[in-house]
């Protein structure tokens, strides 16, 4: 008889597609390579747009994205996740560039890279477990809104041929998979629209109009400012913002890809690898980056990418476009890329979370956190601020909810000579402040026992509250004793009691 048949086993994530699997399978290799091609095309308009915000030349931003993509493909902790020069980082660097000049970008990026390496080496990426699900949903919903809105200028108030190309792109992306799924439909749509524009000689906004696309590669970035204390004073606030904005966006994106692919990532490795990649991109490209969630969704969902091969392919194709095929890349109509990104935006939104039935079942606090995360992100254009605001609100609502679960039961003895209080629930700053008001100091007899068998002490505020209770009973001529504390709570109480008076 099999003695293990009745045992419960924990479900394990699906086995991730490895680089070795891809290289052994022509079918998987083709899928990964095609996913990389469509991802590289999806990167172009956003990287160019964000380069304007940060004050970096568009070609340099594209080169930085190539460096980021290659380094993260080798060292990153989340296969198939796309890293490039990102808008969130550009938004942080932009004000410093306008105030002090582009020459301060390189020291800023290098310092940010070292912070990210230290963050990953110290294992601090595990803190991502404290981001609530409602914040994650708000993150992806806000991202969908931002991506969609960013594409609207490429579609509205344009010649009629632009609207025709927009509709054609949508139709190809939607219906081509019914013909074959071996080639990503967004890639087919972009190729078809580009061919129509080039063969028909139509004058439509294209990639070349967004920035200089001369062939070749820029030179390495040189340090143009002295490595002095004055330089450090200028760059360190921006460097810290770049580091933590990049980490936050990358780790949240990694968590999202984990869910999409039912596989696990190494968040610590992703963190230090991002620092290494940013230092490399700073020296060759001149700008930092982080995970690009929209392009990651393109790679994983539209292209079917699952391994490091897809992101290596994206970086190499982008390198080819920037160097040898820059004239062809310049002819790609922006409306085709915008239409693909709009589809990505709609796919990114968690529509189930917005259904009336879901909203009705969810606690109001969870819905509020999601809405606040979305509102902050959309209003500021900063995903990190939205997540930070959502986490702070979730913590406050959690503390408020937990504070209300404290229960106090008063039981007088049969002879009336003593009284026993039983405390039920965790004691911390949110719950212990009201505990002092739950005792009948004037009415209680001279012997009072407070039982903490079903409670624990978690912070100094709780110890201060117990000291206050003891003082009040002493003023009424009663003696109070605390019993039932577990070992940790007893030691914590013993160390701080009597030492918290101002």
Tens of pLDDT, residues 48-95: 767 756 777 778 888 999 999 999 999 999 999 999 998 778 777 878
Q: Does residue 102 register a pLDDT over 50?
A: yes
Q: Does residue 210 register a pLDDT over 70?
A: no
**Nearest to 409, CA basis, from 435, 385, 375:** 435
In this structure, are strands 479-483 and 447-457 parallel, antiparallel, or unpaired?
Answer: parallel
| DSSP-derived 3-state class of residue 1 | coil
Q: Are 271 and 120 in contact (CB under 8 A)?
A: yes
Residue 37 neighbours by CB under 8 Å, 6+ apart = 184, 187, 313, 314, 317
Q: Are 289 and 245 in contact (CB under 8 A)?
A: no
Radius of gyration of the chain (CA): 29
Residue 443 neighbours by CB under 8 Å, 6+ apart = none
The whole-number average pLDDT for the span 399-404 is 75
Residue 14 neighbours by CB under 8 Å, 6+ apart = 261, 262, 263
Burial track 100-118 (b if 16+ CB lie within 10 A, e otherwise): bebebbbbbbbbbbebbbe
Give percent of the chain above pLDDT 70: 94
Termini Cα distance of the chain:
69
Give the alpha-carbon dihedral of 235, 241, 244, 246, to 10 degrees: -90
Give the alpha-carbon dihedral of 164, 167, 173, 174, to 10 degrees: -140
Span 303-327, pLDDT tens digits: 899 999 999 999 999 999 888 887 8
Q: What is the mean pLDDT of the chain?
A: 86
Span 103-147, pLDDT tens digits: 999 999 999 999 999 999 998 888 877 788 898 888 888 878 887
Tokens found for residue 172: 């190809």
Tally the residues of the chain: 502
pLDDT attached to residue 53: 62
Neighbours of 459 (CB within 10 A): 16
pLDDT attached to residue 340: 83
The whole-number average pLDDT for the span 431-452 is 89
Q: Does residue 397 register a pLDDT over 60?
A: yes
């Amino acid at each position: 008889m099999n003695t293990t048949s009745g045992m419960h086993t924990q479900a394990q994530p699906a086995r991730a597609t490895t680089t070795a699997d891809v290289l052994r399978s022509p079918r998987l290799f083709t899928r990964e390579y095609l996913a990389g091609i469509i991802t590289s095309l999806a990167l172009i308009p956003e990287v160019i747009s964000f380069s304007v915000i940060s004050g970096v030349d568009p070609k340099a931003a594209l080169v930085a994205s190539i460096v980021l993509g290659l380094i993260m493909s080798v060292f990153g902790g989340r296969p198939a996740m796309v890293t490039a020069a990102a808008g969130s980082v550009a938004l942080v660097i932009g004000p410093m560039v306008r105030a002090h000049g582009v020459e301060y970008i390189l020291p800023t990026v290098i310092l940010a890279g070292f912070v990210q390496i230290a963050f990953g080496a110290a294992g601090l990426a595990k803190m991502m477990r404290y981001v609530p699900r409602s914040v994650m949903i708000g993150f992806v919903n806000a991202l969908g809104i931002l991506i969609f809105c960013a594409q609207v200028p490429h579609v509205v108030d344009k010649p009629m041929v632009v609207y025709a190309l927009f509709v054609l792109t949508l139709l190809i992306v939607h219906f081509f998979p019914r013909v074959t799924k071996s080639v990503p439909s967004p890639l087919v749509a972009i190729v078809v629209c580009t061919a129509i524009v080039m063969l028909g000689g139509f004058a439509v906004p294209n990639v070349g109009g967004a920035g200089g696309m001369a062939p070749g590669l820029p030179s390495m970035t040189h340090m143009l400012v002295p490595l002095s204390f004055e330089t450090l004073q200028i760059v360190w606030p921006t460097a810290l913002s770049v580091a933590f904005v990049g980490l936050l966006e990358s780790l949240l994106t990694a968590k999202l890809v984990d869910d999409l692919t039912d596989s696990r990532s190494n968040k610590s490795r992703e963190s230090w690898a991002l620092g290494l990649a940013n230092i490399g991109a700073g020296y060759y490209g001149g700008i930092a980056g982080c995970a690009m969630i929209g392009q990651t969704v393109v790679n994983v969902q539209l292209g079917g990418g699952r391994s490091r091969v897809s992101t290596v392919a994206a970086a190499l194709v982008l390198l080819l476009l920037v160097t040898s095929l820059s004239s062809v890349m310049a002819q790609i109509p922006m409306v085709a890329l915008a239409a693909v990104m709009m589809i990505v935006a709609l796919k990114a939104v968690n529509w189930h979370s917005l259904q009336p039935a879901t909203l009705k079942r969810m606690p109001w606090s969870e819905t509020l956190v999601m809405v606040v995360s979305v509102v902050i992100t959309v209003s500021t254009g900063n995903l990190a601020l939205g997540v930070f605001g959502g986490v702070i609100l979730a913590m406050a609502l959690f503390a408020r909810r937990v504070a209300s679960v404290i229960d106090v039961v008063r039981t007088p003895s049969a002879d009336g000579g003593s009284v026993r209080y039983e405390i039920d629930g965790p004691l911390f700053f949110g719950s212990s402040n009201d505990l002092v008001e739950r005792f009948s100091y004037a009415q209680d007899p001279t012997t009072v026992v407070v039982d903490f068998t079903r409670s624990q002490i978690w912070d100094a505020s709780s110890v201060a509250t117990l000291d206050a209770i003891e003082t009040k009973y002493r003023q009424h001529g009663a003696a109070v004793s605390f019993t039932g504390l577990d070992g940790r709570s007893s030691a914590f109480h013993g160390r701080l009691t009597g030492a918290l008076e101002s």
